[in-house]
């Protein structure tokens, strides 16, 4: 089966970025240049650039052109850290319990978050991360099977989803929303909360160079967890 021309252009651009030929913030060929190089219409070239822009691989600036995105942008707000490492850095004992590991059909919000078709099969996991045998965080994660096909075969008591996904689909971009919530009964059970207590919820979507990898909801008791950040400004 012949690969569509727009997909060939996307792969060409991704390969240039992955092998270091094109660096962050470097201008990439224009629609006209790509249409000439690949002997396609401008519309086809535009589709390739638009899809890579939507995936966070490229950024477009009105009147200036299209550029390789900064793949370190996520650290300007929240550093993506492995929770097992966080616990160990505090000299704590990390452990994890797996409550759900399954394939499901994606309802509309999950499909939109992962950039897949509604009702297509995605993977879902629900884990509780513990520090010194006490629940610290519930992680509910939805994963694109195309980018992590062996996700359901992993033993997440031995490695975290973050560690596995970082190996098979290295992180290039992440987006977060953070809010305070009141946990429902199921969340209270998972976190061993016996009194109503506000929790910190982080919604996180992560990308690799090939697209959206996962959509996760991380919930921690407000009394046990906090977020910090470090800002670095470019000169």
What is d(CA 202, CA 205) in angstroms, rounded to the nearest whole number? Answer: 10
Residue 122 in this model has a pLDDT that exceeds 90: yes
Reported as a single tens digit per residue, the pLDDT across 16-51 is 887 888 887 889 999 999 999 999 999 999 999 988
Q: Is 190 helix (H, G, I), strand (E, B) or coil?
A: helix
The label of the residue with tokens 């297509």 reads 120
φ, ψ for residue 138 (rounded to 5)? -95, 130
Closest CA to 208 of 175, 174, 168, 172: 172
For the chain, which domains are there?
Answer: 5-70 (1.10.10.10), 74-221 (3.40.1410.10)
- pLDDT tens, position by position, 36-91: 999 999 999 999 998 888 777 788 877 788 988 765 433 334 456 788 888 887 77
Write the burial class of residue 49 (CB in 10 Å: 0-12 exposed, 13-18 middle, 19+ buried).
buried
The sheet carrying 94-105 orders its strands as 94-105, 121-131, 134-143, 211-221, 199-208, 173-181
The answer to pTM > 0.85 is no
Q: Calculate the alpha carbon distances from 215 to 140, 143, 176, 201 in Å.
A: 9, 7, 10, 13
Tens digits of residue pLDDT in 157-184: 999 999 999 999 988 888 888 888 999 8
For the chain, how big is the Rg over CA atoms in Å? Answer: 20
Nearest Cα to Cα of residue 165 among 208, 197, 125:
208
pLDDT at position 75 is 33
Residue with the larger pLDDT of the pair 16 and 225: 16
């Amino acid at each position: 089966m012949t690969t569509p021309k727009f997909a060939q252009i996307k792969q060409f651009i991704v390969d240039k970025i992955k092998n270091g030929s094109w660096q962050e913030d470097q201008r990439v060929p224009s629609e006209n240049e790509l249409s000439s190089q690949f002997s396609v219409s401008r519309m086809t070239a535009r589709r390739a650039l638009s899809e890579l822009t939507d995936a966070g691989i490229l950024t477009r600036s009105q009147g200036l052109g299209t550029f390789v995105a900064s793949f370190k942008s996520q650290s300007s707000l929240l550093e993506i850290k492995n929770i097992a490492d966080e616990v160990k850095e505090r000299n704590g004992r990390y452990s994890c319990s797996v409550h759900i590991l399954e394939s499901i059909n994606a309802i509309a919000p999950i499909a939109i978050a992962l950039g897949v078709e509604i009702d297509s099969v995605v993977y879902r996991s629900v884990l509780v991360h513990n520090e010194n045998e006490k629940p610290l965080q519930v992680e509910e994660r939805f994963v694109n099977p195309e980018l992590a096909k062996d996700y359901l075969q992993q033993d997440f008591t031995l490695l975290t989803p973050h560690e596995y996904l970082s190996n098979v689909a290295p992180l290039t971009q992440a987006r977060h929303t953070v809010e305070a919530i009141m946990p429902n009964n199921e969340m209270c059970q998972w976190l061993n909360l016996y009194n109503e207590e506000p929790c910190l919820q982080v919604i996180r979507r992560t990308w690799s160079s090939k697209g959206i990898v996962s959509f996760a909801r991380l919930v921690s008791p407000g009394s046990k967890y906090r977020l910090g950040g470090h800002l670095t400004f470019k000169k």
